[in-house]
Amino acid sequence: MLAIDRRKSIMKMLVEYKSVTVSELSKVFKITEETVRRDLEKLEKDGLLKRTYGGAVLVDSVTEDLPVSVREISNIEGKEAVGKKASDLVEDGDVLMLDSSTTALQVAKNIKNKTVTVITNSEKVVIELAGVQNIKVISTGGTLRPSSMSFVGPQAENSATQYNGDLFFMSCGGISVSKGLTDTNELEAEMKKVMMGCARHVVLLIDHTKINRTGFVKIGPFSKISTIIVDTPLPCDLEDELKNNNVKIVICDEH
């Protein structure tokens, strides 16, 4: 395994378990403890973790704005299930809007048999659908955020407002009863707000790691979304609040 892939795997374990030890990583990857320490040192320099005696812990701020290379390997099974379930809502002829989330990317991977138009600010979605003859892809353009591979800013927002979508598939940094929908970055949040106003139906895609979390920026209340698709059942208070706002709840039957 290449060092870069091993470090991604280490981050995946940290996102899931919040802490790791040098000895367990040595056993999992069949490498020396010294190699593990070098990996952890590199990840610490990147600001992704904090080394401790005998291991490492996830930096709290990391979960607020993880780079796409890490987010796309976090709970991949849950995101794949959500993306597949979301694709069931898509019909031929639909105009779809997809945000730059790694969960929306999973939707793109599951609609290649549909004849649709896709409007997105995600560079990864554009690349994923490039060459699919039956899908027309429109990029918003704008300023590229390298960490998220997304287009943001006034140009991207103005471009999005020129279109009317049937479905907007989006994710967020966190969802909670007290704060509603929140995200980790102001520019990303503004882009989501704009696209929410351009679609007839807003479909929120989340996996269980987003539940009862609060991001840095508020996106909006639950009343702004039509449907939520999630990989696991929701806490009772959150489920009740969504139902009170007439949000349809879809739980994936495969995970």
Domain termination site, one of 45, 63, 81:
63
Task: For residues 84 and 47, give the distance between their C-alpha atoms in angstroms, rounded to a whole number.
Answer: 33
- The total number of structural domains in the chain stands at 2
- Exposure pattern of 103-136 as b/e (b: 16+ CB <10 Å)? bbbbbbebbeebebbbbbbbbbbbebbeebeebe
The domain boundary, picked from 63, 88, 103, lies at: 63
CATH classification at residue 28:
1.10.10.10
Residues 59 and 93 in one domain: no
Task: Quote the pLDDT of residue 12.
Answer: 80
Residues 34 and 102 in one domain: no
Q: Are 133 and 160 members of one domain?
A: yes
Same domain, 74 and 200: yes
Q: pTM of this prediction?
A: 0.76
Which pLDDT value is given to residue 255?
41
> Is 213 found in the same domain as 98?
yes
Q: Looking at residue 127, what is its pLDDT?
A: 96
Q: Could you list the pLDDT tens digit for every one of the 255 residues in the chain?
A: 788 888 888 888 887 788 899 999 999 999 999 999 999 998 887 667 889 999 998 766 544 556 555 555 556 788 899 999 999 999 999 999 999 999 999 999 999 999 999 999 999 999 999 999 999 999 999 999 988 889 999 999 999 999 999 999 999 988 999 999 998 889 999 999 999 999 999 999 998 878 888 877 899 999 999 999 999 999 999 999 999 999 999 999 744
- Last residue within a domain, chosen from 23, 44, 63: 63
Q: What is the pLDDT of residue 71?
A: 57
Please count the other Cβ atoms lying within 10 Å of the Cβ belonging to residue 139: 16
- Kindly state whether residues 98 and 174 are assigned to the same domain: yes
The structure tokens listed for 158 are: 């103005």
- Structural domain boundaries, residue 179: 70-251
77 with 174, same domain? yes
Same domain for 21 and 132, yes or no, is no
Q: Strands 227-230 and 248-251: what pairing? A: parallel
| 57 and 82 inside one domain | no
Instruction: Name, in order, each residue with C-beta under 8 angstroms of 239's C-beta and a sequence gap of 6 or more.
Output: 233, 249
Question: The domain that contains 231 carries what CATH number?
Answer: 3.40.50.1360
Instruction: State the Cα–Cα distance between residues 56 and 43, nearest whole angstrom.
Output: 10
Do 170 and 215 sit in the same domain of this protein?
yes
Q: Contact, 105 vs 170, CB < 8 A?
A: no
Same domain assignment for residues 29 and 47:
yes
Asked if 156 and 94 sit in the same domain, the reply is yes
